[in-house]
Structure formats: C-alpha cells, structure tokens
C-alpha cells in the first residue's frame, strides 16, 4: 500500500515537538531513575512517557505501521525485526544518563524506515535547541538550515567521537579492544570526544563539528535516525570492519568522507566486538 512520506514527516515533527516540551519540563525536576540490565543502564519515567507519547501518537495516524521502541511500550507484538514494512524506530531519550545528571546531550530520536531503507530522521536536543532533520535524497538540516559533513579525508586531522559505555568494559577481552582502539584513535587523530549520546555523535558528524564516530554496542533505536542524517549530509555510514551498515548489528562507523571511514576501519583492524544482534531472539 502507498506510504505518504510527506504526511509522516508532518506528523512526526509535530509529535517530537510535544515530546521535547515534555523533556524540557522534566529537566527541572529531581531525576529519579531505575536500572535495567545493570546498575549503569538507567531508565526514568520520562523515557517511558515520551516513548508512549510518540508511539501512541504515531499509531493513531498510522495504525498499520510497525513500531520499535527502546522501552518496549510498542508491545511485544511488533518484535524487533527490520522488514520491508513502514517502520518507526523510536529512542525517547538517547542519553538517559546525561538526562539523569543534567548533562546537555539528551535527544529525542526517531527514524522512519521503509523497504529496509531510512526515509526520515529527526533528532531533537531540547536543552541546546538543536533540531536535526533529514529525508532520503533531500538533504540534512539543522534548525531548518542545510548541513554538510566537514569533508575531512585525513584521520591525522580529525576529531573523532567515541562512546565509552560502561557495560562494554565488563568483559576483559572487550575492555582491551575498546581501550586499545581508543588510545589508537587518540594517538592518530587531533582529538577524541564523547557526548554520551550516540545520535548526538552522529549529528555532530553530520554538521561537520566532528569528523568521525564509531561504536560497538548501540541498538537500532540509537542509530535509526543518525544513519540517515550522516548520509544525507554527505557522509558515510558503514560497519566498523568495512562492510555495509547493518541497523540491527549493534555496530556503527560514521565518517565525513569514505577516505576517512576507510582509515578508521584500518586503524580498528581486527579489534572488533560483536554483541548479540537486535533481531536475535
């Protein structure tokens, strides 16, 4: 059946605006959190409220679409497999730990995928008043102005984003890989930075404020919007071992140019981490 992407774009922008209001209002409060997989995997009532606001709102307009959300409010029925169906992938707060601490990088991130390709992306950081949007073949925008990646081709002249996720350090062999990679990047590049939000890292690459980003850990909802933003801004999004980007693989590498992407892949070499995929039962 025909999908009206214009209508999807209007609807998601309206709902993300409301969600951003909600996030801003909650930012003044004392942040009570619960833990999920371990004592550093945080979730707040605000995560769940925003996810519900977004998924309920979208579902009212597009009941036949598929929904994938971080906090599971989409219901077990929708599952986590990426199919050809029109699919909304929602991260109500990317950077929940930032939110809990009042650090300025908490983003609402929504990607709309069709035929296993990203069609629409929106990332809203209410604290910094940054709204990133992208649509397939129509470019990427920050607060309505077109953005481009830096065009940087040399790792030696790059600023690289990388997340140091605590959950990733628990296994000894992973710790070695992560730290060796981080030190390798730091020695080679101009600088290494971390925001605590995967989508924010990708937005920084898309707008040319950072040149590259890689991570072994993020989930589909952390990547669904950022992947299109980087691509539409003229950058590349790929697997950290050099293959095609795979939304469900929990692996990502974004770069301003293919040349830089390939240099990052070379530096990582066989120091790779494979977590359980998002579409594995």
Applying CB under 6 A, the residues found at the interface with ligand IPD are 70, 91, 94-96, 163, 165, 196-198, 215, 217-219, 222
Determine whether the annotation assigns residue 47 to a binding site: no
Determine whether the annotation assigns residue 93 to a binding site: yes
Determine whether the annotation assigns residue 94 to a binding site: yes
- Closer to ligand IPD by CB, 56 or 101: give it: 101
Backbone angles phi, psi at 161, to 5 degrees: -90, 140
Clarify whether 160 is annotated catalytic: no
Clarify whether 244 is annotated catalytic: no
By C-alpha distance, which of 93, 51, 88 is closest to 72? Answer: 51
Q: Are 159 and 264 in contact (CB under 8 A)?
A: no
Least distance in Å: CB of 184 to ligand IPD?
19
Active-site choice (49, 70, 201, 211)? 70
Least distance in Å: CB of 250 to ligand IPD?
8
Active-site choice (93, 131, 160, 273)? 93
Clarify whether 93 is annotated catalytic: yes
- Closer to ligand IPD by CB, 62 or 74: give it: 74
The angle at the Cα of 164, spanning 139 to 67, to the nearest 5 degrees, equals: 50
Determine whether the annotation assigns residue 91 to a binding site: yes
- Closer to ligand IPD by CB, 97 or 152: give it: 97
Clarify whether 94 is annotated catalytic: yes
Spell out where the chain has E strands: 33-35, 42-44, 66-69, 87-94, 107-114, 117-125, 130-135, 140-142, 145-147, 159-162, 191-193, 212-216, 236-238, 251-255
- Closer to ligand IPD by CB, 49 or 222: give it: 222
Clarify whether 97 is annotated catalytic: no
Active-site choice (73, 96, 149, 257)? 96
Clarify whether 239 is annotated catalytic: no
Cα Dmax for the chain: 52
| Terminal Cα distance for the chain, rounded | 29
Active-site choice (47, 91, 119, 211)? 91
d(CA 62, CA 212): 35
Positions marked catalytic: 70, 91, 93-94, 96, 222
Residues in binding site for Mg(2+): 70, 91, 93-94, 222
């Amino acid at each position: 059946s025909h999908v009206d992407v214009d209508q999807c774009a209007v609807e998601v922008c309206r709902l993300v605006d409301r969600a951003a209001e909600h996030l801003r209002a909650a930012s003044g409060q004392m942040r009570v959190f619960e833990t999920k997989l371990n004592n550093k995997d945080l979730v707040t009532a605000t995560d769940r409220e925003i996810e519900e606001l977004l998924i309920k709102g979208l579902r009212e307009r597009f009941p036949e679409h598929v929904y994938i959300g971080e906090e599971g409010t989409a219901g077990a029925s929708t599952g986590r497999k990426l199919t050809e169906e029109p699919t909304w992938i929602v991260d109500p707060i990317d950077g929940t730990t930032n939110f809990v601490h009042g650090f300025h990088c908490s983003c609402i991130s929504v990607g709309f995928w069709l035929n296993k390709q990203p069609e629409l992306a929106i990332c809203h950081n209410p604290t910094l008043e940054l709204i990133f949007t992208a649509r397939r073949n129509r470019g990427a925008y920050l607060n309505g102005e077109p953005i481009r990646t830096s065009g940087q081709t040399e790792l030696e002249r790059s600023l690289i984003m990388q997340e140091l996720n605590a959950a990733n350090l628990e296994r000894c062999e992973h710790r070695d890989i992560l730290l060796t990679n981080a030190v390798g990047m730091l020695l080679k590049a101009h600088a290494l930075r971390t925001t605590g939000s995967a989508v924010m890292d990708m937005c920084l690459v898309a707008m040319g404020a950072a040149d590259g980003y890689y991570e072994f850990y993020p989930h589909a909802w952390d990547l669904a919007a950022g992947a299109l933003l980087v691509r539409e801004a003229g950058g590349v999004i790929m697997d950290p071992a050099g293959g095609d980007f795979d939304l469900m693989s929990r692996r990502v590498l974004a770069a301003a140019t293919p040349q830089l992407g390939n240099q990052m892949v070379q530096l990582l070499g066989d120091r790779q981490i494979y977590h359980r995929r998002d579409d594995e039962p």
